[in-house]
Amino acid sequence: MVNEPAQTPKLKGWLPMVIGVLSIVLGGLWTLQGLDILTDSKMSGKQPWAIVGGALALFGLILVVIGERVRSRSKRQGQ
């Protein structure tokens, strides 16, 4: 009808998932540069970048899992 409230969009959990995927990609890039697999960079061959990249990729994976759990929980509550 005319005066019914609009439904709120169900976008819960997307932000941590997007940030997590970007973190995984960036962490993988930094790890490959730190291990000197990707060359031609000031970061190439420097071990701290391999460690930081691995930690960032792990953090991104955790964010993706958290985002998926939030999405699945909100879907169950909406049913």
What pLDDT sits at residue 41? 86
The reported pTM is 0.81
Domain boundaries, the chain: 30-78
pLDDT tens for 19-59 read 999 999 999 999 999 999 988 888 898 999 999 999 999 99
How many other C-beta atoms are found inside a 10 Å radius of the C-beta of residue 15? 12
Nearest CA among 33, 31, 52, 29 for reference residue 41 = 33
Q: Where does the pLDDT of residue 8 fall: very low under 50, low under 70, confident under 90, or very high at 90 and above?
A: low
What pLDDT sits at residue 7? 67
